[in-house]
Structure 1
Amino acid sequence: MTLLYFGVGAVILWMLVRLGRQTERAGRGHWRIASTMMAAALFVGAVIAAARGVWIGAGAMAAAGLWLTVASRVRSTRSRPIDPSRMTDAEARRLLGVSAAANRGEIQAAWRRLMARAHPDQGGTQGLAEQLNQARDRLLKG
């Protein structure tokens, strides 16, 4: 019986930690809270079913709880199309940190230096990388 209480307590602790880490825009946050609570209820049910020896039911409830947990963590990656004509030359130069007299090589070097830090594979964000690409394209084509 102690193991049952331990399992239920662990599920409740997981739920509280997960709910405490909710940082999402308003429309998505409600889904996460509801799915976390439902997943916690399924995990508690799985613990109780396993304690009573109903292994198939426990496995099914645990799988459903795990699916809810993973599904609520998936974030949409919709990105808005970039309009290169909206960025001015001055904004592009300020973003890349180059002067008005910078030549093609200096623009490329500044872009490489900044992209090494801003690329999503290096821990940067998609939006900043897109802005840097847009600034480089604006200056090299203009």
Structure 2
Amino acid sequence: MSNIRITKQFSFETGHALYGYDGKCRNVHGHSYKLSVTVIGQPINDTDHVKFGMVIDFSDLKKIVKEEIVDVFDHATVFNKNTPHVDLAQELKNRGHNVLLVNYQPTSEMMVIDFSEKIKARLPQNISLHSLKLQETATSYAEWFASDN
């Protein structure tokens, strides 16, 4: 049986600020992110299986990514908790805002690494995460490939 890659795309709105950065992105701002999640595996070969012919049901992949990424990051503001932005984060939280404090600089590069770990931990054993593409703007994106790691 052949290995097949399938991809599901997601979108979410997230704000962030890059502490210590020397450009405009040091200010709080947001992006309309697009995330493409590609997994690889062999289609189910058991004709009696309800998901016969599928690598993974798209709805099962959607559930994983929504729970781990989209529902968490959508309409949240992300700050590195190891910077003075933690004071701003607390002020925003006190005012009812959805704030995430992470252990990394919330760049697309670091977010896609974080996302890869969260998704890999939830996939069935016979399915592997192949790649992620996190598009921050129409012309800028970060990619993660299992083969590079």
TM-score (norm 2): 0.29
Structure with higher Rg: it is 1
Larger helix percent:
1
Q: Relative contact order (alpha carbons < 8 A, sep ≥ 6): 1 or 2 greater? A: 2
